[in-house]
Amino acid sequence: MTGAAVTGAAVALTPPKHIEVNGRRIRLRLVQQLVWLFLAANAGALIISALYYLLTQVNWHVGSHEIFYLKHDWDHLFSFKGWPQDRHDVRDVYEGALATLFVKSLLANWRKYGERHVGLLRLITSPLLIIAVAAPIVVAGVFVINYGGPWLWHRVFHHHVIHASVSLPGWLSTYLSTWNWQPVLIGVITGLVVHRIYAPIGNTVQLYFIERQVDKSRDTGLDHRPRWPLPPVIRERYAWIMANNLPVHDRGKWAGRLIPIMAFLLFALMVFGGVVRYYIAKGG
């Protein structure tokens, strides 16, 4: 980046609750936020679907030489009869966790994190951080929904079953059938816990793309502000930096290369995750 680097002498400003973009408040802001919440949550879930399929279902080989194939070991990692369901729930919980992280990173109140950012090493190791921090909660959550919960229900309510009939449009029923709500709920809780550690990483990535546009605007004198339909929080944060002439971070060339590459890989995984969930998993 070519903008001025942030220094300790920079004056801390407190953004107001409502920030004007291009001279006025964003119309239908809540509706736009809800749409992006839905999109971000699905993107996070689809990325996990893609990773799960690529790591545990695909036989990676060069010619006749197998180099990586985990399906048999993963399918038989444990011998007890509940493992076939448990291993799918592990995937579903991580889907809910990453969906929550995407939503929090994209739509969370950035005023809370301000200029907090991380270095290159933290960015590179962020996927491992998410997996490691989430793992104990994922294991505990899968145990609760498949063993602890049913045992407690049987003890308290015996064999009583709740029947609920809700009429839904066909397209909505088809979409909801691709989700298992219990693991997803545990995943959301997991994501909220992990986000306490992940927040500076997500804030760094968000700031990078916004500050890159700030740099372009300042260097060229042209208007490079993020525009609709990008999320309101992105447009508001850019407007706040520009309106108050705030300095931006100089992250160096390696971060400038790494973050776009990471963003492209996540987008590619999201697209492939859609193929996995809505085509391959349906037997297409």
Taking the domains of the chain in order of start, what are their residue ranges?
Answer: 29-161+168-280
Note the pLDDT of residue 267. 94
Is 1 a residue whose pLDDT tops 90? no
Note the pLDDT of residue 97. 92
For the stretch 223-261, pLDDT in tens is 999 999 999 999 999 999 999 998 887 767 777 788 888
CB atoms within 10 A of CB 158: 7
Query: Cα–Cα distances in Å, from 131 out to 65, 97, 152, 173, 204?
Result: 29, 10, 29, 31, 19
Is 126 a residue whose pLDDT tops 90? no
Q: What is d(CA 68, CA 58) in angstroms, rounded to the nearest whole number?
A: 8
Residue matched to tokens 């729930």: 89
The mean per-residue pLDDT over the stretch 191-210 comes to 87
Which residues, including other chains, have CB under 8 Å from residue 251's CB and lie 6 or more apart? 1, 117, 208
52: pLDDT confidence band, cut at 50, 70 and 90? very high
Note the pLDDT of residue 143. 86
Q: What is the pTM of this model?
A: 0.81
Residue matched to tokens 């049913």: 150
26: pLDDT confidence band, cut at 50, 70 and 90? very high
Note the pLDDT of residue 4. 46
Note the pLDDT of residue 42. 92
Q: What is d(CA 83, CA 99) in angstroms, rounded to the nearest whole number?
A: 24
207: pLDDT confidence band, cut at 50, 70 and 90? confident
CB 22 within 8 A of CB 239: yes
Note the pLDDT of residue 176. 52
The mean per-residue pLDDT over the stretch 198-218 comes to 88
Stronger pLDDT, 54 or 250, i.e. the higher one: 54
CB 32 within 8 A of CB 229: yes
Query: Cα–Cα distances in Å, from 45 out to 40, 126, 178?
Result: 9, 17, 11
Note the pLDDT of residue 117. 75
For the stretch 136-194, pLDDT in tens is 999 888 888 877 655 555 555 565 554 455 555 655 555 555 667 788 888 899 999 99
Computed over every residue of the chain, the mean pLDDT equals: 82
Is 65 a residue whose pLDDT tops 80? yes
